[in-house]
Amino acid sequence: MLQDSLSKIKYLIVLAFLLVIPMQAKAGDFGFDPIDQTDTGVDRLIYYYDTVGRSTYIQVTNTSDDFVEIHVQAFEAEDNCRETDFNICLTPGDTQIWNVEELPSLADLSESNGFIAISVDESGCGFVNNALIGMFRILDDSGYEYRTNAASSEDFTAFSADYDVLNFNDVNGNNLSDVVGITYVDIDTDQVFASPLIGTVFGFFDDPQILIFDDNENPTSCSPTIFTCSNIPGLEINKGIDNSIPSSQDFSEICNTSKLDGPVIGAIDSGWVFLPFAGYACFESDFDPTECPAEPFFVGFLGINNGDGTGSMDSWISHSFGEIIEPTGIATISSE
């Protein structure tokens, strides 16, 4: 089983040599790829969920005057991206709100994290283009809340971002983070597929590297990082920023640094992470590289909180077009 093979892996793959041309770090050459304005209607919505000491609620609304069939897919990263799904017909103007632990599919998603995709199904009770809007709320037992619009990326196939920036600070004692990266492939108009063996890679070993800056603009380089639909150490769907602002759920960090170590007199400690987008990578169960089963997509969310009642979450990045990485060699990082 995939579970058995993955649990025995002592060293996890990161990419060392790539058959793509590295993006050049020149001022003015960077193209930003905006998140869809999912409050105005799309055909597919992507949500993050987390029920590990938390409750997650997702909302979807049919903004049209017609019936719309939707296909709801839940991917459980805690269980090697196990999928459960169901269909439902939305009446005109209908809004559905679900507790993720009580979805109509009766799937047990308690004490897990992952993502949910909601897509318009053309074969159901009705079909209208760009009819869906949605949002989600993640409520923590400690008292803080994440909430933001659901994201989507399939409408921006003409854009590709060369790099992305994550800002962080210790306002109100922020010391925890959730850097969520969701990679999936577009199987059809009404469904997506995700796996621990399909990932999005940021950073190169040579140039451009991931860089993390403190509030005095002092940079430190970091190793490449990859997001997959799993909780395999180093490949998680959810990561922290660095040692001083780690993941709220004890997952690995993007950088092995401590940029919020000491307060600056008269100022608030802050920083930012420079993340060059390297591309998408797909692997066989033995981690040999393979062709991706369909076009990959990526969406992300950044959540910062203090673990005691204050938190915020925003859409992070949206890649809908990028190079497929074909590694000619690999390096490894220990999972221990």
Distance of CA 286 to the CA centre of its chain: 24
What is the pLDDT at residue 287?
Answer: 76
What is the pLDDT at residue 8?
Answer: 35
What is the pLDDT at residue 265?
Answer: 60
Domain region containing 164: 2-334
What is the pLDDT at residue 11?
Answer: 32
What is the pLDDT at residue 1?
Answer: 41
Cα distance between residue 326 and residue 306, in whole Å: 40
Q: Which residues of the chain have pLDDT under 70?
A: 1-39, 154-162, 262-267, 320-336
What is the pLDDT at residue 291?
Answer: 84
The three-state secondary structure class of 164 is: strand
Q: Which two tokens stand for residue 100?
A: 């993720």
What is the pLDDT at residue 292?
Answer: 86
Cα distance between residue 226 and residue 14, in whole Å: 7
What is the pLDDT at residue 37?
Answer: 54
DSSP 271-316: EEEEEEEEEEEEB-TT--B---SS-EEEEEEEEEE-SSS-EEEEEE
Cis amide prior to 208 (ω within 30 degrees): yes
Number of domains composing the chain: 1
What is the pLDDT at residue 30?
Answer: 33
Number of residues written out for the chain: 336
